[in-house]
Amino acid sequence: MGLLDKLRGKKADERPDEREEAPPVPVKDKITAEERVVRPKPAPAVTVRQVPSTENVQRPAERRTSEGPIVCKDGIGRPAPEPRRVPVQPQTSKGPVAAEKKSSPRPAARHTGPVTRPPSANAGSIDERTEEVGIIYGNVGTSTFSCRATAHMERSEYIMAEHEDCGKVLCQVGNLIRKTDLSLEKTLDMSRHTDIQEIISAQVDVVGYRDDRGLLQVPRTTFSAGKPVFKANDALIQSVLGLRTKEKSGAYIGLLHGHGVPVYLDINDLLGRHACILAKTGGGKSYMSGDIIEELMKHHVTCMIIDPHGEYSAMRDIGRPGDSRFGVVPRGYEDHINEFTISKNTDGLSKPLRFTLKTLEAREILELTRTNDIRAHLPSLRKAIDHLRERQDSYSVRELIDILYKDEDNKNPMLITELEYLDEIGIFATRGNRVDELIEEGKTTIINLKGVPPDIQELVVRRLGTLMFEMRKLGAVPPMMLIIEEAHNYCPQQGTAISSRALATIASEGRKFGLGLMVISQRPAKIDKNVLSQCGTQIILKVTNPNDVKAIASSVEGLTPGMTEDIQTMPIGIAMVVGAGIQAPLLVDVRPRESRHGGTGVKVLSEDD
Ligand SMILES: Nc1ncnc2c1ncn2[C@@H]1O[C@H](COP(=O)(O)OP(=O)(O)OP(=O)(O)O)[C@@H](O)[C@H]1O
Ligand SMILES: [Mg+2]
């Protein structure tokens, strides 16, 4: 039984844990006016005629190319429809805001200015009239049908078809094809006046409608051929997809692709069922996670970010103004952030992250060094630890080294060299950070691991992961979200990292104790499948590696083959999202950041003036 079938008979609000089998969603096929006039080269310009229709006559559109004017019209003088354009308001182009420059002063700590206001979806009624965009033709089914486009139509766009018994039904455009009578042979002797008959056909998938009880249904009888289809209005989209405005408990992440409907992730669901953000490198993972973290901060949700590249400090600063249709007001989050770093020379913004050594056994300490001969060093190190434990409550790496210096064992010089390496990193101290120092209710703790060796990073993730899990069990820290960047390094599918077990435990049991996990990775195939499969919310941006695509296809429920294909061609700024209150995979135009994004690449050459 398909997921969609399982969902039928339940109210949208009652099934946060299930996803529907959705119609193919995304993505790229935007039929623009320019495409309409593309001709085989070096053929001369021609007159393009669309197949006649008896309805919906529109004003002719005139286009110019370098080859001269081309008049696009159908057999009865009907024009190729004008492309639909999303209104984009002009941006202020002042360049990076002052706060981005190192020398400039930081913004005021407390944000009191205007706030982000997602555009409200057109609150009109489902019955509101919209533009006609096509006519149903051919063999018509209950879940799919073909339609001839009579106006601009884009792949993945939502449209509405009237059904005799069910009324207004939400549908989604799948593949589009432009059928023409221009054969290969005909291109050989094309002249300026060659007529091309063309017609655009769309494959349409039926999403469904809400019945009187608010239940999602799909028609059980077919639609009728010859009936018009219309643009779906926002009210119908919101109602059928269950996209409600949730300013109090929702994280605003962007607008439904191609429509002005704001999309919110349910924050309770996000924390309660874990989440993942997957994309190829440079695909926009950190940008997207920054959007979510901003929303969590605004809702006073406590977070901890494992930040291996030191990108998230930039969230203190104000971001650049973005596309105004999202209603995002730039701001910084200085007053919501606590940052910790292992580096001995902290910059004043971050505090030192320190652990006590006394909870580590000799083998665990040796695992953090680069030695291949753990067994050879175990006896001397155990002896030194026992010696210190008998005499004092806590001890440092330096004190261990001093004891080993006094020992006559000839293997000690090598062991001492390894311990000197640990001492150099400076992560261990006689007094570690207190929990209430690391976690402040409603604030975000950034663990900046930039430049820290991988084994030490894993140790940090293990210790903090275990600590947060234990503290949540005791209720000693508030419910919180643990965000792990480059998660494939901390819970790999092949082999183990020091942190593997801690993260697997949080993935499987964290939800019971209010500890949410958000894993971010550029290599979905390389993350422990047990962790990935526990993520109830999936945010997928562009992924091209075939193994990664396969890993996503096997871990995301409700992903159709069409969507899997689309993931590989999505442009930056579009995400496929499912979970956290979104029942079927949706395409979302990701909102601009409020705060500064720190994940910009390094330019090898400077740009010419
Ligand atoms: N939604 C978006 N809107 C505008 N720009 C974006 C968006 N998403 C990403 N970008 C831009 O794309 C670039 C790469 O984004 P980002 O740093 O988030 O990628 P990433 O997937 O985290 O990469 P990496 O794997 O290297 O960490 C950034 O410079 C960012 O400005
Ligand atoms: Mg990144």
Ligand 1 centroid – CA 284 distance (Å): 3
With beta carbons less than 8 A apart as the criterion, state whether 304 and 555 touch.
no
Does 49 score more than 60 pLDDT?
Answer: no
What is the number of the ligand 1 atom nearest to the C-alpha of 279? 21
Q: Whose CA is nearest to atom 4 of ligand 1?
A: 573
366-395 average pLDDT score: 84
Does 62 score more than 90 pLDDT?
Answer: no
Q: Whose CA is nearest to atom 14 of ligand 1?
A: 282
Q: Among residues of the chain, what percentage have pLDDT more than 90?
A: 42
Does 76 score more than 60 pLDDT?
Answer: no
Cα–chain center distance at 574: 8
282-308 average pLDDT score: 95
Residues 6+ apart with CB under 8 A from 102: none
* Structure tokens, 81: 């429809």
Does 11 score more than 80 pLDDT?
Answer: no
Residues 6+ apart with CB under 8 A from 511: 272, 273, 274
Q: What pLDDT score was predicted for residue 263? A: 93
Residue 559 Ramachandran class (φ > 0 left, ψ -120 to 50 alpha, else beta): beta
Ligand 1 mutation target, pool 523, 572, 576, 577, most atoms within 8 A of CB: 572
Query: At 200, phi and psi to the nearest 5?
Result: -110, 125
With beta carbons less than 8 A apart as the criterion, state whether 469 and 508 touch.
no
- Could you identify the residue written with the tokens 């053929």? 43
Quick check: CB of 596 below 6 Å from ligand 1?
Answer: no
| Each residue's pLDDT tens digit, 462-505 | 989 999 999 999 999 999 999 999 999 999 998 888 889 999 99
Quick check: CB of 287 below 6 Å from ligand 1?
Answer: yes
* Structure tokens, 259: 């429509």
Q: Is 195 exposed, middle or buried (0-12, 13-18, 19+ CB in 10 A)?
A: exposed
Residue 226 Ramachandran class (φ > 0 left, ψ -120 to 50 alpha, else beta): left
Q: What pLDDT score was predicted for residue 577? A: 92
What is the number of the ligand 1 atom nearest to the C-alpha of 591? 1
Ligand 1 centroid – CA 282 distance (Å): 5
With beta carbons less than 8 A apart as the criterion, state whether 132 and 160 touch.
no
Instruction: Determine the residue type at 454.
Output: P
Ligand 2 centroid – CA 442 distance (Å): 24
Rg (CA), the chain: 29
CA distance linking residue 510 with residue 491, whole number of Å? 15
* Nearest to 74, CA basis, from 151, 135, 130: 151
Residue 505 Ramachandran class (φ > 0 left, ψ -120 to 50 alpha, else beta): alpha
Does 316 score more than 80 pLDDT?
Answer: yes
Ligand number with the minimum distance to the CA of 287: 1
With beta carbons less than 8 A apart as the criterion, state whether 149 and 200 touch.
yes
CA distance linking residue 573 with residue 562, whole number of Å? 20
229-239 average pLDDT score: 91
CA distance linking residue 5 with residue 15, whole number of Å? 13
Q: What pLDDT score was predicted for residue 258? A: 85
E strands present in 321-475:
337-341, 350-352, 355-356, 428-429, 444-448
Does 266 score more than 80 pLDDT?
Answer: yes
Ligand number with the minimum distance to the CA of 588: 1
Quick check: CB of 283 below 6 Å from ligand 1?
Answer: yes
Q: Whose CA is nearest to atom 5 of ligand 1?
A: 573
Question: What is the β-pairing status of strands 574-579 and 582-590?
Answer: antiparallel
Handedness of CA 581, 585, 588, 590 (dihedral sign): positive
Quick check: CB of 285 below 6 Å from ligand 1?
Answer: yes
Ligand number with the minimum distance to the CA of 283: 1
pLDDT greater at residue 439 or residue 120: 439
Question: What is the β-pairing status of strands 515-521 and 195-210?
Answer: unpaired
With beta carbons less than 8 A apart as the criterion, state whether 322 and 92 touch.
no
Does 571 score more than 50 pLDDT?
Answer: yes
Ligand 1 centroid – CA 78 distance (Å): 43
Q: What pLDDT score was predicted for residue 409? A: 67
SS3 content of the chain, % helix, strand, coil (to 5): 30, 25, 50
* Structure tokens, 463: 């210790």
Ligand 1 centroid – CA 21 distance (Å): 29
Instruction: Return the H-helix or E-strand segment holding 406.
Output: helix 397-406
Packed helices 500-509 and 454-474: angle between N→C axes, nearest 10 degrees? 30
Does 515 score more than 80 pLDDT?
Answer: yes
pLDDT bucket at 38, cuts 50 / 70 / 90 = very low
Q: What pLDDT score was predicted for residue 71? A: 31
Q: What pLDDT score was predicted for residue 374? A: 80
Residue 475 Ramachandran class (φ > 0 left, ψ -120 to 50 alpha, else beta): left
Quick check: CB of 506 below 6 Å from ligand 1?
Answer: no
Does 48 score more than 80 pLDDT?
Answer: no
CA distance linking residue 222 with residue 218, whole number of Å? 10
429-433 average pLDDT score: 82
DSSP, residue by residue, 253-299: EEEETTS--EEEEEHHHHHHS-EEEE-STTSSHHHHHHHHHHHHHHT
Domain formed by 250-351+442-590, architecture: 3-Layer(aba) Sandwich (3.40)
Q: What pLDDT score was predicted for residue 67? A: 37
Ligand 2 centroid – CA 334 distance (Å): 20
Ligand number with the minimum distance to the CA of 601: 1
Least confident of 148-152, 192-196, 377-381, 550-554: 192-196
Query: At 578, phi and psi to the nearest 5?
Result: -145, 145
CA distance linking residue 392 with residue 403, whole number of Å? 13
Q: What pLDDT score was predicted for residue 122? A: 61
Instruction: Return the H-helix or E-strand segment holding 249.
Output: none
49-58, 63-72, 234-243, 290-299: which is most confident: 290-299
Q: What pLDDT score was predicted for residue 407? A: 77
Ligand 1 mutation target, pool 253, 276, 285, 287, most atoms within 8 A of CB: 287
Does 107 score more than 50 pLDDT?
Answer: no
With beta carbons less than 8 A apart as the criterion, state whether 570 and 26 touch.
yes
Ligand number with the minimum distance to the CA of 523: 1
Quick check: CB of 284 below 6 Å from ligand 1?
Answer: yes
Ligand 1 centroid – CA 234 distance (Å): 29
Ligand number with the minimum distance to the CA of 305: 2
With beta carbons less than 8 A apart as the criterion, state whether 576 and 585 touch.
yes
240-266 average pLDDT score: 88
pLDDT greater at residue 252 or residue 498: 252
Q: What pLDDT score was predicted for residue 82? A: 41
Does 589 score more than 80 pLDDT?
Answer: yes
Instruction: Return the H-helix or E-strand segment holding 102.
Output: none
Instruction: Return the H-helix or E-strand segment holding 40.
Output: none
Packed helices 397-406 and 412-425: angle between N→C axes, nearest 10 degrees? 160
Ligand 1 centroid – CA 323 distance (Å): 16
Q: Is the entire prediction scored with pTM above 0.95?
A: no
* Structure tokens, 362: 């000799």
Ligand 2 centroid – CA 587 distance (Å): 21
Does 411 score more than 60 pLDDT?
Answer: yes
Q: What pLDDT score was predicted for residue 480? A: 95
Q: What pLDDT score was predicted for residue 16? A: 35
Ligand 2 centroid – CA 599 distance (Å): 6
Q: What pLDDT score was predicted for residue 410? A: 66
CA distance linking residue 329 with residue 243, whole number of Å? 23
Does 175 score more than 80 pLDDT?
Answer: yes
Ligand 1 centroid – CA 528 distance (Å): 24
Q: What pLDDT score was predicted for residue 124? A: 65
Strand, helix or coil at 35? helix
Quick check: CB of 302 below 6 Å from ligand 1?
Answer: no
* Nearest to 481, CA basis, from 292, 312, 328, 322: 292
What is the number of the ligand 1 atom nearest to the C-alpha of 597? 31
Domain boundaries, the chain: 3-27+122-241, 250-351+442-590, 356-429
Ligand 2 centroid – CA 312 distance (Å): 10
Quick check: CB of 587 below 6 Å from ligand 1?
Answer: no
Q: Whose CA is nearest to atom 8 of ligand 1?
A: 284
Ligand number with the minimum distance to the CA of 307: 2
Q: What pLDDT score was predicted for residue 431? A: 80
Mean pLDDT value across the chain:
79
Residues 6+ apart with CB under 8 A from 460: 306, 342, 353, 355, 427, 447, 449, 452
284-300 average pLDDT score: 95
Residues 6+ apart with CB under 8 A from 298: none
Instruction: Determine the residue type at 307.
Output: D
Q: What pLDDT score was predicted for residue 32? A: 37
4-10 average pLDDT score: 36
Least confident of 240-249, 391-400, 442-451: 240-249
* Nearest to 368, CA basis, from 448, 287, 463, 510: 463
CA distance linking residue 589 with residue 26, whole number of Å? 11
Q: What pLDDT score was predicted for residue 581? A: 79
Exposure on the CB side of residue 151, measured as CA atoms within 13 A: 18
Ligand 2 centroid – CA 307 distance (Å): 9
Does 135 score more than 50 pLDDT?
Answer: yes
